[in-house]
Amino acid sequence: MSASINAASFTAHFAQLSRRHFLIASAWVGLPSWASAQPGVIAGPPAAAPDTEVPYVQTPPILVRRMLQMAEVSRKDLLWDLGSGDGRIVIAAAKEFGARAVGFEIDPALIRESKRLARRARVAERTQFVERDLFTLNFAQPSVVTLYLLPEFNMKLRPLLLAQMRPGSKVVSHEWDMGDWRADETLTFPSTQKPHGTKKEHVVMLWVIPANVAGHWLLRFQSGGATPPVQLLIAQRFQQTTATLDQGEVLWSNLRGTQLSMAIKSNGSSLLLSGEVNAARWRGKIERLGQWGNSTGHVVGEFSAQRTAG
C-alpha cells in the first residue's frame, strides 16, 4: 500500500473513531511564533507541515514500554515525543526509565492533561509539556525522539532528524516507517484489539542516526611493524555503506550510529576493523576473522583512519 493510501485510510479510520472514543487534534491555529527564544527552536522559517492532520490516538502502554526499551532509554537520555497526546510516552520515559523527557503537542487540552498526569505520577520535575507545532523544532538536543504520527509527517521529519540529531541518537516510530530509510530494528506485536486497519498487529521501528562516513579515507594499521597506509573509499546511503580498498578487499561493512565495522582481506589475512567515527577520524581495534568470517575476539592491533575528502 502506498504511503498516501495508508495515510488517507488511517485518517479516515480515526476521524470515524473520534466521534466515539477520541479527541481529534485541534487545527493549525494559535501556535506560538517559530522565532521565539525557547531553546531548540529553529531560527528560520519552519518546514511546511503536511496538509493532513494527525488525529489523537494513544499508543497502548505495553507498546510505550517496548518503544522505550528498544531505544534503551536511560537516565542519560533527553527524550522528545513529537505529538505527545496525553503524555504517556514522556511520563513513562521519566518514571520507568529515569530519563528527562519533553512532549510537544498542538492541542492545549492535551497539554493540560499531560501536566496533570505527570504530577500524579510524580515526574513533574523530569518532564515538560510544550504547546508547539513539531515542525518548528530543531532536533540537536534530544538523544531519543519518539513518533506516532502519519507517513507524510515521518517523511517531512526525516531530513530534519538526519541533519540535526547527533549521530548515535535514536528515533522510534510506532506504526509508520521512514520510506527508504530502512529501520535498524523492527518489532511486530499481534493485537486483536487494535481499533484500526486490517492488519491486527502493531509495528514499532528503531533508527539510529548514522554518522557521515562517506568519502576517501587513509587507513593506517598499527599491528607490530609499520605498514604503509591504504586508501579506503566509502559510499553511504543512510546507514548503508559499501567500501573499497586500493589494496585488499572489503568483505562487508556495517554502520550503527558512530560505530563502523568492516571486514577486510589484506595481505592474505582476514581482519575485522571496528571502532568509532568522530567527524573525520575513525579509530579502533583490529581482530583476526575466523574461518567463517566471524569475529574470534582475538585483537591483533589497532587502526586509525583519516578522511581526506568527502
Ligand X SMILES: C[S@@+](CC[C@H](N)C(=O)[O-])C[C@H]1O[C@@H](n2cnc3c(N)ncnc32)[C@H](O)[C@@H]1O
Interface positions with ligand X (CB under 6 A): 25, 49, 54, 56-59, 81, 83-85, 88-89, 104-107, 110, 133-135, 148-149, 174
Cα separation, 279 vs 212, whole angstroms: 8
The strand order across the sheet containing 78-82 reads: 127-131, 100-105, 78-82, 144-147, 170-174, 201-208, 185-190
**Residue 10 or 303 having the CB closest to ligand X:** 10
**Residue 120 or 281 having the CB closest to ligand X:** 120
**Residue 54 or 273 having the CB closest to ligand X:** 54
Shortest Cβ 101–ligand X spacing (Å): 12
29: exposed, middle or buried (C-beta count within 10 Å: 0-12, 13-18, 19+)?
A: exposed
Q: Residue for cell digits 521501528?
A: 205
Shortest Cβ 163–ligand X spacing (Å): 19
Shortest Cβ 302–ligand X spacing (Å): 44
Shortest Cβ 117–ligand X spacing (Å): 12
Cα separation, 161 vs 139, whole angstroms: 6
**Residue 155 or 213 having the CB closest to ligand X:** 155
Shortest Cβ 109–ligand X spacing (Å): 9
**Residue 104 or 217 having the CB closest to ligand X:** 104
Q: Give the residue nearest to ligand X (CB).
A: 83
Shortest Cβ 159–ligand X spacing (Å): 16
Cβ(90)–Cβ(81) under 8 Å? yes
DSSP one-letter string for 83-136: S-TTSHHHHHHHHHH--EEEEEES-HHHHHHHHHHHHHTT-TTTEEEEE--GGG
**Residue 123 or 272 having the CB closest to ligand X:** 123
